[in-house]
Amino acid sequence: MKAALLGLTHPHSDILFTTLANLPEITAISLWDADPEVVAETPFSGRPKTTALTHDLDDILDDSELTFAIVCARHDLSAEICLKVIQAGKHLLAEKPVGFDSTQIKALQAAAREAGVVASVLYPRRAHPCMVAARQILHPNSLGPLFSIEGRFLTTQVKFRQPESWLFREDQAGGGILLWLGCHCLDLMQYVTDDPIVEVAAMTAIRSGEMIDVEDTAVLSLKFRSGALGSFHAGYTLAHHGAGYVNQKGYDSYLGFNARNGRVVWPDLDPRLQIESPSESDGSPHRETVFDLPASNSYGGSYGEGFFRQFIAATQGASDPPTTLADAFRTARVIEAAAESALSKVFVTIG
């Protein structure tokens, strides 16, 4: 199967190429970037499976053997590239947030539906075994009604993340920590419980001391469709955890789902899940499940490869896609509601 990687300077371009190269299902990779200088100088050219390298997007998309394209581009440019992929009849796997705003994402949804192509957003943590297990426990309501959901996602400070990058410019990124990293947790909060967020109150701030104009710290209060409440704290806050965009030690993460008859907690990004529930055979309601994850340098590790394989299967009609653009739209609306709430200082309802 042939795939294309569209965008060679995105912070995730390298690891996305590595993921494609690691998958035996992918036999050829076409590469594109709009900048001819980037194309001429990219280190991707000599890597295994690379079969095309160009700044001519039509040349990539006109290839009858191309099955799908990954779009990883600056947020204000992403939707236009995604639309071209869809209009060419190719399946789409887009880096979050997919579009600059929810309006663009909704338009892409309609285009993908009309073209009959699979269109997914890269939320690979859905395939993490901890989240798969948590959904199996919580989605059927086996622990009773939800009380609350707690989330935290902290990472290294802006000064370690190239503050001059487009990621910290409102006109090019569209938002800050919530749009770039908080989106993963906001998606999981809703996906694991099958309980959409319907109301948001938020405070955001810029505290890094760097010359940026997007939020680097955010605190959200959430209400879910079921009536459960939630809280989420995201920030570029860590001072002593190294640098770089693929830095596993540079995160402090937590997700907790609290229900009437127990709770499920993913205390960090390690493959362990803490569960409190009745009817354990040894009489104790407390247990911890640790999952074995084979080592992998793919995006999301070995579970990320599972996400990609499900997407690939969906392009062949053999599976449902792991995500849809409806998921990207839903999370974008939550983030937009947070921005509106932070500005207006009122609760914002998501229609």
Domain boundary assignment for the chain: 2-121, 125-297+325-349
Do 272 and 264 touch, CB atoms closer than 8 A? Answer: no
**Residue 243 clears pLDDT 80, i.e. is over it:** no
Q: How confident is the model at residue 249 (pLDDT cuts 50, 70, 90)?
A: confident
Reported as type and span, the H/E element at residue 258 is strand 251-259
The residue to which tokens 């892409």 are assigned: 108
Query: Is the CATH code 3.40.50.620 the one for domain 125-297+325-349?
Result: no
Residue 118 class from Cβ within 10 Å (0-12 exposed, 13-18 middle, 19+ buried)? buried
Confidence (pLDDT) at 236? 97
Locate 27 and state its tokens.
């036999």
314 — phi, psi (to 5°)?
-65, -35
* CA–CA dist 134, 262 (Å, integer): 12
pTM across the whole model: 0.96
Q: How many residues does the chain have?
A: 351
Confidence (pLDDT) at 242? 75
**Residue 241 clears pLDDT 90, i.e. is over it:** no
Query: Is the CATH code 3.40.50.1000 the one for domain 2-121?
Result: no
* CA–CA dist 199, 2 (Å, integer): 42
Return the minimum-mean-pLDDT range out of 199-208, 224-233, 281-290, 323-332: 281-290
